[in-house]
Structure 1
Amino acid sequence: MNSVIKYLDKTLAAALMLVMASILLCVSWQVISRYMLKDPSSVTEELARFLLIWVGMLGAVYAYRTNSHLGLNLVLDKMSPVYKRMTQVLIQLLVIVFSALVLVFGGYELVDLTLELKQISAALSINMGIVYAVLPISGILLIIYSLVNLSNLFSGKVLETTTQESV
């Protein structure tokens, strides 16, 4: 199980690097075509926008996995170890419920609707269901990582929070 999670971590990190590099190339070409060639490319503008959606959602999953997401730890740090662990379990369960209902179920419904209606993007002419597919994907990944966190909590490990000094 641990090797599967490590593989998932590496795949997610590689996907994020690839998407970020793609955004960099798209935006660079957009600037070159607009100001040097005087003929702006509409395809790269839309592609960069769609890639930004994907990097935002997958980046949130990566931040959640590495515990580097924005969080308010003042209250949690002042709790006794027993209440701290109970609160962390509750947080993981809430993340699972939110991810399942909103991201996986709601995201699937959105993808299904856009595929059924054949909603096509203006410049790229791709189905918008492909763009929205990141919602259930990120929801599934969040659920997996929450289950890993719950497993760690029940096995006695403490979930470390990343502070600004360690980033």
Structure 2
Amino acid sequence: MRRGFLAVEGLLTRASLLAACLMLALAAGLGFYQVLARFVLEQTTEWTEVLTRFSLIWMVFLGIPKAYRVGAMISVDVLRRWSPRGMRRLLETVVALACLALSVLLIVVGWDYAQRGRFQTVAGLEQVSMFWAYLAVPVGGFFSLFGIVGQWLEPVDRELESAA
């Protein structure tokens, strides 16, 4: 069961990271187009700013699961290193439970917020609901659940590598 969960977690974490990378590429492309349109074509394109903001929001929330998975999200490195071996697992469990609670809160409150924002339209893209921007919060929280449990089941300590 553990191996099966870690396989699913790895697939979901890679998928969310790939989506986050695509959102970053989209934001960069839209930003480039916006500069090109404004200064070369001398046209304003307010929709590119809105879509860039949306893609950056999605990029952040879809990148969080990978940060959890490599141990770079909540760094209690000093406490972990100074703790005896038996305390390390307890510390990891407490951190995992706190992160799970936060992710569940993100899912519940984020979904409520997205539902409330479904009637709000976006300036610059009047036909698009804010629901799609707010939906990044519960979706990111959902994917984070897998990364947190995966990190707890099979700890990977690359927080210093990921910070560089």
Q: TM (normalized to structure 2)?
A: 0.87
Runs of 4+ in 1 over 6 A off after TM superposition: none
1:114 aligned residue (95, 112, 117)? 117
Q: TM (normalized to structure 1)?
A: 0.86
Query: How far apart, CA to CA, are the structure 1 residues paired with 2:92 and 2:7?
Result: 24
1:130 aligned residue (107, 121, 132)? 132
> Counting strand residues as a fraction of each chain, which structure ranks higher?
2
Per-residue deviation, 1:70: 5.9
SS of the aligned residue for 1:86 comes to: helix
1:104 aligned residue (103, 107, 110)? 107
SS of the aligned residue for 1:93 comes to: helix
Q: What is the root-mean-square deviation in Å for CA atoms of aligned residues?
A: 1.9
Provide structure 2 residue ranges, at least 5 long, that are not aligned to the other structure: none
Provide structure 1 residue ranges, at least 5 long, that are not aligned to the other structure: 153-157
2:89 aligned residue (82, 85, 92)? 85
The answer to whether structure 1 residue 160 and structure 2 residue 162 are counterparts is no
2:122–2:130: 8 Å Cα contact kept in structure 1?
A: yes
Per-residue deviation, 1:10: 2.4
Q: CA-to-partner distance for each residue in 1:62-106, whole Å, 9 max, x for gaps?
A: 2112223362411221110111110000000011111112x0110
1:57 aligned residue (61, 78, 97)? 61
Query: How far apart, CA to CA, are the structure 2 residues paired with 1:4 and 1:70?
Result: 23
Instruction: Note closer, same or farther for the CA distance 1:165–1:29 as it changes in structure 2 (3 Å cut).
Output: closer
SS of the aligned residue for 2:47 comes to: helix
| 1:36-75 map, 5 Å | 36-69=40-73, 71-75=75-79
Identity percentage over the alignment? 22
